[in-house]
Structure 1
């Protein structure tokens, strides 16, 4: 898939189904303005049966790249193979499409794990936990378990309502995580340094995530990748116990930074992230009012 997009303002999109909720345009258009770069970042709603064709003709549609969001990350990997880099190949999921500077071909990568890990280290300076509990076995869990094992060197306990799905994920990606049935969550939490929720439970419009955090040590960190609402019931419960909490908005922001650099040529720093975060927080408050 070679980039044949026209010259002129650089145009990128986020592809999902649905996609109206995505805050990615707010992030990237904020950074474009801050860096004085001429470009445009838009939403593109694409159904599952249209995804492969859309990706094939992405440059013809005028786009030099894209973000891929729910539910397309694994399907995008299948559609783009073999034009994927090492992170995407390892996770069998794509969240960012960019033009290869040498060949001109459109390639897929995955920045979710890096975004998660960058935000965790910034939110909890000096974090050096040994054991993590990850809830869920969807696309985000793939990237998070991978980075916790291979970057952080942590032992991971993967908890999911469907044990077979979690076990299949671990086997397919050659991970070392120990799989737990949801019924055994209290035992999995014992002695854990980090709890990460990668499910949609607790998101606005979804059922709450109802768990007892009592087995967690007082020094544990609780990270919820959900960011609508910004403080989920899980984080509120953890904060009430005096545990350190990390919300999901930082992961969204930091996973976006590598794509911005590749598409638009601007390097994102902490000030850029803070500026976009302020705008998204205001947007979330406006939505609730």
Structure 2
């Protein structure tokens, strides 16, 4: 089922308003996803982008949510840790990483959750179904918010995470925060990896030839869907997982939380690839 080129759901005075907050946020595909679901389900609602200039601006946006002006937010960089800190109630998934990508406002209270981990697990199940995470060695490239956000679900699934980051101090700080299943890695540790995840906003400079033949390579970036990092892994014959699959995986629980109902059936991947003008 594909949405029509013209919006068919009506916006009334009872419309449900949610959105995504980040800086920058203009690149986000979340409004495309959630508004397509709203249209497909003929739901009286809208999903909007919000771009607070700074932490103070994000505080104001959360205050607006407490005041009933918006019923929920997805949160992206650089506000995920701030979102967690502002919440009155925090889910287990959000607590595991100290960050949140979902805020739900209910009668002046703020509930924080994180679906980033669900997004990673969904993407791996869709595109690397043979990978067993229990006992797997996961090398995470980067020690920022993206790495933090997905680590909890991987740890809970039984994986060991090695953080490989240019700044040793940041890697050590993240490992200390996440607990005994996480350690700081060196480049030589790539040879042991069952799964390598790029959690950097730039393309990593690592030698893929050291990976074992059965290793899986994932990139959280989805523009382009097949990044140079994934293209190089494919050229080696490795299984690859793209960031678009992760985005789709975290979107469904977000929609359910924000609009208080599950999303209607829709081929999101086809919709998003068409939106991006790409094929995979």
1:158 aligns to what?
Answer: 163
**What secondary structure does 2:252 align onto?**
helix
Q: In the TM superposition, what is the alpha-carbon distance from 1:175 to its structure 2 partner?
A: 4.3
1:280 aligns to what?
Answer: 272
Q: In the TM superposition, what is the alpha-carbon distance from 1:20 to its structure 2 partner?
A: 0.8
Q: Within 2, Cα distance between the matches of 1:160 and 1:24?
A: 28
Matches for 1:119-268 after TM superposition, within 5 Å: 119-129=123-133, 130-151=136-157, 153-180=158-185, 184-185=186-187, 187-202=188-203, 209-268=204-263
Q: In the TM superposition, what is the alpha-carbon distance from 1:104 to its structure 2 partner?
A: 6.6
Q: Within 2, Cα distance between the matches of 1:78 and 1:265?
A: 23
2:119–2:247 Cα contact (<8 Å) kept: yes
2:3 aligns to what?
Answer: none
**What secondary structure does 2:277 align onto?**
helix
Unmatched segments (≥5 aa) in structure 1:
1-5, 203-208
Unmatched segments (≥5 aa) in structure 2:
1-11
- State whether structure 2 residue 79 is matched by structure 1 residue 78: no
2:120 aligns to what?
Answer: 116
**What secondary structure does 1:253 align onto?**
helix
**What secondary structure does 1:8 align onto?**
coil
Deviations 1:130-189 (A, max 9, x none): 2111100111211322222212x1122110111111111121232421202xxx31x111
Instruction: State the superposition RMSD in angstroms.
Output: 2.0
Q: In the TM superposition, what is the alpha-carbon distance from 1:59 to its structure 2 partner?
A: 4.6
Q: In the TM superposition, what is the alpha-carbon distance from 1:8 to its structure 2 partner?
A: 0.5
Q: Within 1, Cα distance between the matches of 2:13 and 2:130?
A: 45
Q: Within 2, Cα distance between the matches of 1:126 and 1:240?
A: 19
Q: Within 2, Cα distance between the matches of 1:125 and 1:179?
A: 27
Q: In the TM superposition, what is the alpha-carbon distance from 1:92 to its structure 2 partner?
A: 1.0
Q: Within 1, Cα distance between the matches of 2:257 and 2:22?
A: 20
Q: Within 2, Cα distance between the matches of 1:96 and 1:268?
A: 16
1:35–1:266 Cα contact (<8 Å) kept: no
When the two structures are superposed, what TM-score results if normalisation uses the length of structure 2?
Answer: 0.88
Compared CA separation, residues 260 and 175, structure 1 to 2 (3 A): farther
1:191–1:215 Cα contact (<8 Å) kept: no
How many residue pairs end up in the alignment? 264
Q: In the TM superposition, what is the alpha-carbon distance from 1:54 to its structure 2 partner?
A: 1.6
Deviations 1:94-132 (A, max 9, x none): 1101145xx773311111011111111121223215211
Q: In the TM superposition, what is the alpha-carbon distance from 1:89 to its structure 2 partner?
A: 2.0
Q: Within 1, Cα distance between the matches of 2:95 and 2:160?
A: 22
Q: Within 2, Cα distance between the matches of 1:283 and 1:257?
A: 19
Compared CA separation, residues 111 and 281, structure 1 to 2 (3 A): same
